[in-house]
Amino acid sequence: MEPLRIGILGAARIAGTAIAAPARETGHRLVAVAARDRGRAEAFAAEHGVERVAAGYAELLADDEIDVVYNPLPNGLHGPWNLAAVRAGKHVLSEKPFAANAEEAGEVAAAAEAAGVRVMEAFHYLYHPVLLRLHELLASGELGELRAAEAELLIPAPADGDPRWSFELAGGALMDVGCYGLHALRGLAPWAGGEPVLESATGTARRPGVDQAVDARLAFPGGATGIVRCDMAAAEVRFRLRLTGTRGEATAVNFVRPDTDDRVLVGDRVEHLGRRPSYSYQLEAFAAHVRDGAPLRNDLADAVATMTLIDECYRAAGFPVRPRSRVEPVPGG
């Protein structure tokens, strides 16, 4: 397969783990990186083997040698720069969620379809054997009929100045970590009679409009219940997904970062599914999608549906839907 030629928007810390390391492992090129602080871009390039530093985001998007853009910018900048990349004819791997709200997500999806480029929302966990094993346990009937699903997503509090606490940049616990739980529960639809619907949601504010914690209760058409609990100021890191069926129970101890804990507990049995990073599996899937048209496990319609559910949770919990960013993509941005 011809290597992807990747440009990176921003020198965010996650980019080293989510794109630079997987690209080196899987043989794809890191052509360029751009950041608002050129010094940070230069340091990132030196550390991760990126071929060159672009003068700005717009220059990177105009680079004919780049065919794929990775977007790890703050949440509120996903939508605008994903649209800018699509309009520049680039394929996009965007950190989740790939827009600030459902309306903007729909615009990104429509633009990608019109332009004939591939855009993938980076729910990397979906491609790891840990998550696939949970689905296999449901499909095989070993767990019986699904009766309950519970996702817990907890992390210690980021610093006060972190953009994840910014309403204007579409921050909040649900956007940062809770979205994994909502997405994972939506993915159970084939074994639960269809997509879950929101029954109720409650939340705790960190600052006006910005959620520190959200609990959401969902219901599946087949009668199963769903719970998503997220907290962005917890005492520990926890990314647990538990499925309960009529014949048994299975738990992924860390379904979001199985590279740190690859255990799946099936009743009294402990299975290890491998600690190869989920980001590597994701990049392989995206490359096959871009180069060969291989189908993804999460498409554009999936991204819009998840964002719609996030918006519904915010409204139900008494929070405003995340706003579009006031920062517009401009030359040299």
**Residues with active-site annotation:** 96
As given in the structure block, the two tokens for residue 265 are 């507990």
Residue with tokens 């969620």: 97
One DSSP character per residue, 130-164 reads: HHHHHHHHHHHTTT-SEEEEEEEEE-PPPPTTSGG
d(CA 274, CA 254): 12
**Which amino acid does the sequence have at 229?**
R
Please report, for residues 83, 151, 196, 211, 285, the alpha-carbon distance to residue 76 in angstroms, rounded to integers and kept in the order given.
Answer: 12, 25, 26, 15, 26
d(CA 253, CA 272): 11
Contact predicate 72/19, CB 8 Å: yes
Lateral strand order in the sheet of 225-231: 197-207, 210-219, 225-231, 146-154, 238-245, 249-252, 263-266, 269-272
d(CA 14, CA 20): 9
Residue 123 is given by DSSP the state: -
As beta bridge partners, residue 231 has 154, 213
Closest CA to 120 of 306, 296, 292, 294: 296
Angle at which helices 300-316 and 179-186 pack, to 10 degrees?
A: 120
d(CA 326, CA 124): 28
Contact predicate 215/203, CB 8 Å: yes
